A and B are shown apart, each in its own frame.
Chain A
Amino acid sequence: MIEFLYYFLIMPGLLFTAVAGLLSTWIDRKVTARIQWRRGPSWYQPFADILKLLGKETFVPKGPAKIAFISTPMLGLIAVPIVSAMLWHSNINSNAGYLGNLVVVILLLTVPSLALIMGGSVSKNPLSALGVKRELRLLSAYELPFVIAVLAVAVKTNSILLGGIASHQLIHGMNIASISGSIAFLVSLMVAQAQLGFVPFESTEAEQEIEGGPMLEYSGKLLAAFKLVKAMLLFTLPVLLITLFLGGVNAYTLSGALWFILKYIIILTLIILIKNTNPRIRIDQAVRFFRWPMTILALIALVLALKGW
């Protein structure tokens, strides 16, 4: 019991993922600033932001919406550390976990979006309702290609255990080295961009348009929870991509740890570059993007994986 609490709360759960996630958001802001010929904030800025938000006044609506308003940010805070702990656990010990924890990870990764949707619905604000509508459409659009791409990986590595996928890649080479793996990686990268709510799929939290979307009425500690969830996702999703496609985290030796850091930096850089070189696309364009090209690509990857390529 103590061990479970330690894994969930400290390492590699809430504390580790939160710190690593906030550092990743700093890398994101600094690289974005450099691309725009600016300087960017110091390394402690995201930590200072979260601390500041914890000290601000929190507005809560009166009436029955109060309970939902307060509890929805906590949903993300519960789900994402579980995903992170499962990922790291499976990477450290290939036989750990129960069969099918890949499916559980995919399901749990929808919870932050659902928390945004619910939180935006109970805020009594028409702009939040707009953001909720967009997030609903985006979520239902990107789940299909994501599931098909992950299915392609599961078929190729013949396992739905996260540790099994990682250890299969140790023997047979990275999944991205095969045709089906690289196509599935491309699809998953785009879906990760949408899950993080980054440009080009930023229409739910369009700052200039709908003033923050579902998070509009949140302030203080609840907003800190939402921002922390987003930061933790920025750390967890690349680790998921590394586990599924790039050979997993084998950070036992020093060279293994450096290799992991390199893979992580590559994926983070890809996400940041896509974020900075693209405009924000409309929600119907985003839905059409995920529903047609990405689903077809994912299906191609699945068929190729079934054939064995």
Chain B
Amino acid sequence: MLDCLTPRHDVERFGITLVGSPRHADILLVSGIVNRQSIEKFRHVYEEVPKPKLVVAVGVCACSADMFRDSYNFVKPVDEIIPVDVYVPGCPPKPEAIISGIIKALEKIK
């Protein structure tokens, strides 16, 4: 995900930047699973993003908790906690796949 900001796959040419706070954000990228300690904080961060917002689940762990489904710490998949708009599978997904997932999410707004 961090790779998308680097010069090779520069996303700023599409006008996408990394912002400091959830309140300044439009798109929330979720990677990894949600466990019992972080579920409330995760919901809180989602509520902090102002509408209109989009959620992109990046990686198979966020899409369906592939390896960790039977883990002791695992609660629910991400899309049962917050509404997800675009799923980008892959472990890890290529930066080009992440960028194309974000563009698909943008098209959903239009």
B-binding residues in A (CB < 8 A): 29, 33, 36-42, 45, 48-49, 52, 55-59, 205-208, 210-213, 215-220, 223
Contacts and interface: CB of A to CB of B under 8 A. Distances in A.
A219 B15 contact: no
Interface string B11-22: 011110011110
A59 B24 CA distance: 11
A211 B12 contact: no
B12 A41 contact: yes
Contacts of B21: 211-212, 215-217
Given A56-B51, A59-B50, A219-B50, A49 B23 contact: no
Max chain A Cβ within 10 angstroms of own Cβ: one of B7, B12, B18? B12
A207 B18 contact: yes
Contacts of A215: 21, 24
Contacts of A45: 15
Max chain A Cβ within 10 angstroms of own Cβ: one of B21, B50, B52? B21
Contact of B50 (A36, A37, A49, A57): A57
B85 interface: no
A39 B18 CA distance: 16
- Please provide the 6 A-B residue pairs with the shortest distance between their CB atoms, ordered closest to farther: A212-B20, A207-B20, A57-B50, A38-B10, A219-B23, A39-B13
A217 B24 CA distance: 8
Given A36-B7, A40-B13, A216-B20, 6 more contacts: A41-B12, A55-B52, A212-B21, A213-B20, A218-B23, A219-B50
Contact of A39 (B10, B23, B51): B10
B95 to A, nearest CB: 13
A57 B52 CA distance: 7
B13 A41 contact: yes
B19 A212 contact: yes
